[in-house]
Amino acid sequence: MTANAAVRGVVEVPGSKSGTNRALVLSALADGPSTVTGALESRDCDLMVDALRALGVNIEASGPGELRIMPPQRFRGAPGGIDCGLAGTVMRFVPPLVALADSPTRFYGDPQATTRPMSGLLDGLRQLGAGIDADSLPFTLVPGPMTSDSEVVMDSSASSQFVSGLLLIGARLPSGLRLRHAGDSLPSRPHIAMTVEMLRARGVRIDEPDATSWRVHSGPVLPLDVRVEPDLTNASVFLAAGAATGGCVTVPGWPGSTLQPGARFLDVAERMGCTTTRSGEAVTLSGPGRLRGIDVDLHDASELTPVVAALAALAEGTTRITGIAHIRGHETDRLSALTTELRKLGVAVIEHHGGLEITGGPRGRGGVELSSYADHRMVHFAAIVALDRPGTGVDDLTCVSKTMPDFPRLWNQLVTT
């Protein structure tokens, strides 16, 4: 949808998918019932709820965004299998739970899920005694006797979720867990820090001897009632509408302190010429007359790449986004997808193995049909560039249900107000 004027408005963003699904898993592992409020209602979170219920967890909805979780004495295998969809948190956090279960479970997902990296995590689970018949979806996991040592060395350079998935069950292993990453640079560290903080909040003792090692001590996971923060990566899309049009957008409920990597968007936007202000628990972004290109390493906040790429296409000069080779294994190969879609728009882009160089400037003015690649973030990219390109659309909006089903309504309300 094209913006006919500077975009101005207030958008209340729903809860964090990362926070919601971690809270659900930890509540399922706890030794008593917990309540999660502010939980995101989306496909990824529905898939997580369904998966946990299949393993014997009792989950009741007591109100909008409020879930009561009652863990079982022991997880059971899921005879009908578990549908992971395209949800990284489901395909990487639930198999470790099944390693604690009483019988095997088959995991499967969307067609695109078969290409998402899994081998590092599955290798780690094999080291803990699980039997697994493949290195990617679909696969069957057979729980085995847990090794007495519980020391795992694995390559998590493809996804920080491999580390988080094992940390989540570490306290439930007979002798705890010693985990070490052995491989290239570890991406998305703030998400690992989020996992560690949420475990510690439930009484789990975790040591971090160095930047690539963790020691989780055996012990109970305490029940805890938690409120989920708004999803700051999703918030960046709406703030970007103000940045792209010289407008002003406010997101209420922005936490004063957070480990969500999406919070980095404020710094990126300021470097591109925007102004951000805080008032209580609200953040307001005001866009400049014209954005400017920057050099930015998004290794720790790679989910922001499509939004930053969209703004780069509208900016003066060249934007170099680095440190993001691992997003080739996200819902789609996002580097390749962004390159293809930017070139459709007439934007000069150079694709590197681990990044993009995008030069903003004169573009074609005709309408373009952009592709979503079944990737919610590519829809966000399309929505931002369409603000400046009459007639531009995207071939599939439904994939936004992954993390924000209400995105089309919220976006149209903001842009047309």
Q: Is 286 annotated as a binding residue?
A: no
Q: How far, in Å, are 235, 242, 248, 252, 305 from residue 415 at the CA level?
A: 14, 9, 11, 17, 22
Residue 148 to residue 150: CA distance in whole angstroms: 6
The tokens describing 311, both together, are: 């703004």
Give the list of residues 6+ apart from residue 46 with CB closer than 8 angstroms, or none: none
Residue 111 has a CB neighbour count (10 Å cut-off) of 9
Give the pLDDT score at 4: 72
> What one-character DSSP code corresponds to residue 220?
-
pLDDT band at 146 (very low <50, low <70, confident <90, very high): confident
What pLDDT, in 10s, does the model give residues 300-332? 999 999 999 999 999 999 999 999 999 998 999
Percent of the chain at pLDDT > 90 equals 89
Whether residue 334 is annotated as binding a ligand: the answer is yes
d(CA 65, CA 151): 37
Of the options 3.30.1490.20, 3.40.50.720, 3.65.10.10, 3.40.50.2300, the CATH number for the domain spanning 8-14+230-416: 3.65.10.10
The domain defined by 17-214 folds into: UDP-n-acetylglucosamine1-carboxyvinyl-transferase; Chain (3.65.10)
pTM of the predicted structure, to 2 decimals: 0.91
Indicate whether 229 pLDDT > 70: yes
pLDDT digit string, tens, across residues 200-217: 999 999 999 999 999 999
- Is 402 a known ligand-binding residue? yes
Asked if residue 367 belongs to a known ligand binding site, the reply is: no
Q: Tokens representing 38?
A: 């502010």
More confident residue, 367 or 68: 68
Residue 285 pairs in a beta bridge with: 249, 276
pLDDT classification of 5: cutoffs 50, 70, 90: confident
In sequence order, the β-bridge partners of residue 394 are: 370
Q: Is residue 185 a known part of a binding site?
A: no
Residue 367: predicted pLDDT: 80
**pLDDT category of residue 30 using cuts at 50, 70 and 90:** very high
Q: Tally Cβ neighbours within 10 Å of residue 387.
A: 22
How do residues 353-377 score in pLDDT, each as one tens digit?
999 999 997 666 778 999 999 999 9
Query: Which residue in the list 60, 66, 197, 303 is annotated as catalytic?
Result: 303
Note if 229 is an active site residue. no
Each domain of the chain, given as residue ranges in start order, spans 8-14+230-416, 17-214
> Phi/psi class of residue 245: alpha, beta or left (left: φ > 0; alpha: ψ in -120 to 50)?
alpha
The DSSP-derived string for 377-392 is HHHHHHHHHHTTSTT-
8-14+230-416 and 17-214 in the same fold: yes
pLDDT at 234 over 80: yes
User: Would you say 68 is a known binding-site residue?
Assistant: no
Residue 260: per-residue pLDDT: 94
